[in-house]
Structure 1
């Protein structure tokens, strides 16, 4: 059995390891100058290369376990960082939404105080639906007849005129915007004082045209347009006077002379309505 050279080498190596363990154990209990010191030095000299070789062989295994540990720690950190990032993003979005809402409310309060709109029993509402087409411009709000909302009542936001109530249920209502082709608002131009009617612009969704009564108007680009507040006659209106409607955005001299028409851009951002106010009082003071 011991004739196998590989087996003999393993036996010799085992004996050497065993002897070295015995000698090392004994040497730890003896002084550095004891009789076993030379033997211990010989053993360390013989086994040193073996220990270094074993350490070199086992290093990839230790590195592999270290890599797994580092990877698991990195994944845990990545999940934590992602959670913190998502939370920060949510806080930023919430903050921006709160700032936008505060800005809308501030503009609305300013308009209400400036024009005395509290006399018209305003009812605040949130837009919950929008028209799927550009030519029939309507939105749905979350207040209805149970809140005093009725057909034909004016609707505004913090920037100006939005439209009128065209349909009502107990809990909701439909607002037809001033850019709808079925809409029309009696207005006047601040400055020249010309009066006319604002309607949806032909071929330009989202824009308005003001049909002037006077073909010799001194109107200019940038002039503000407000509600006329006329209660009778051809320009009778549902809106209280002086509500912002828009401003003159373009004048075609030929069309102004022939048709008395100028282009008007709405003051309110009708494409991004969130909060509106319904003026539920049916009459007002001039």
Structure 2
């Protein structure tokens, strides 16, 4: 029974194939006005409206699937663009930081040449942390006693005086900035030699005060303030002479006080320190 069914199906399939070959041969062998071509045109006339209706009915479904496809493609493209943007942003930040560091190193080289800092055994260090206060009164650097860094050594950057080392371990140190309330630097006005002490102004991290300047001493805005160093044989200053500290921005002449209030803006941008130098032998330049 099974074999008869298989043979019957094979015969039907063979007849269909033969008929198809006959019809194809006749179709391609006849002209455009032949009966087979007429049947084809009639079939198309009947089926075309059905196909058009079905196409219109299914268009919302096709559009819906197309919308889903476009949405997924758009999300993938959005994620790709976000990753590219993030990579570009990180690269831009790295480039800006590198450019800032190169600029600070270039200034340090210039300061070395101008002031003979290379004779003071400078140790270059990178700022690794900053104190969490508005004034950034201290910073930490990645060099310590193992590199010759000791407490009370002066610290500079390419613009001038930054502060002093107040604590040191084997591979790190803390630098107290000149804007800290405990700081005090003997200084002179470079153009006139008028001497005083630079101390931080209360409440303004960008303002220093050159204190103990008598009212009779002539101080003008725009003049530069540098470290005085020590001229005494009994006492040596922590700072060598001539290190740039800042520029005079304003002079308050108070009639009720013997001293003037001289405002000084530090040369060093203390909130943007990346690279500094510790002068491990600040008296070396004096021989």
Same fold judged by TM-score > 0.5? Answer: yes
> Hey, what's the Cα distance between the residues in 2 that align with 1:37 and 1:203?
99
Give the superposition deviation at 1:65. Answer: 2.8
Matched position secondary structure for 1:251: strand
Per-residue displacement from partner, 1:52-94 (whole Å, max 9, x unpaired)? 2222222223323333332232222222222222222222112
The alignment status of 1:154 with 2:158, answered yes or no, reads no
Q: Counterpart in 2 of 1:36?
A: 36
| Aligned 8 A contact 1:194 1:212 in 2 | no
TM-score by length of 1: 0.82
SS in 1 for 2:180: coil
Q: Is the 8 A contact 2:212 2:260 kept in 1?
A: yes
Give the 3 Å change call, closer, same or farther, for CA 239–164 of structure 1 in structure 2.
same
SS at match of 2:249: strand
Corresponding residue of 1:201: 201
TM-score (norm 2): 0.81
Farther off after superposition, 105-114 or 276-285: 276-285
Aligned partners of 1:194 and 1:214 also within 8 Å: no
Q: Aligned in 2, Cα 1:264/1:234: closer, same or farther, shift over 3 Å?
A: farther
Alpha-carbon spacing, 1:134–1:46, altered in 2? closer, same or farther (3 Å): closer
* CA deviation string 1:243-278 (max 9, x = no partner): 100111211112696224312111111222221110
Distance of 2:163 and 2:60 partners within structure 1 = 76
Which stretch shows the higher mean deviation, 58-67 or 181-190? 58-67
Inter-partner Cα distance in structure 2 for 1:41 and 1:123? 95
Secondary structure of 1:36's counterpart equals: helix
Q: How far off its partner does 1:237 sit?
A: 2.0
Aligned pair count? 265
CA–CA separation in structure 1 for the residues paired with 2:132 and 2:35: 102
2:143–2:171 Cα contact (<8 Å) kept: yes
Partner deviation per Cα, 1:211-258 (whole Å, 9 max, x = no partner) = 245431111011100111224279852111111001112111126962
Q: How far apart are the structure 1 equivalents of 2:216 and 2:234?
A: 20
Q: How big is the shift at 1:119?
A: 0.3
The residue aligned with 2:87 is: 87
Instruction: Name the residue aligned to 2:52.
Output: 52
- Secondary structure of residue in 2 paired with 1:198: strand
CA RMSD of aligned residues (A): 2.8
Aligned to 2:127: 127
The answer to whether the 8 A contact 2:198-2:210 is kept is yes
Asked if 1:269 is matched to 2:269, the reply is: yes
Query: 1:140: how far off?
Result: 1.7
Question: 140-149 or 23-32: which moved more?
Answer: 23-32
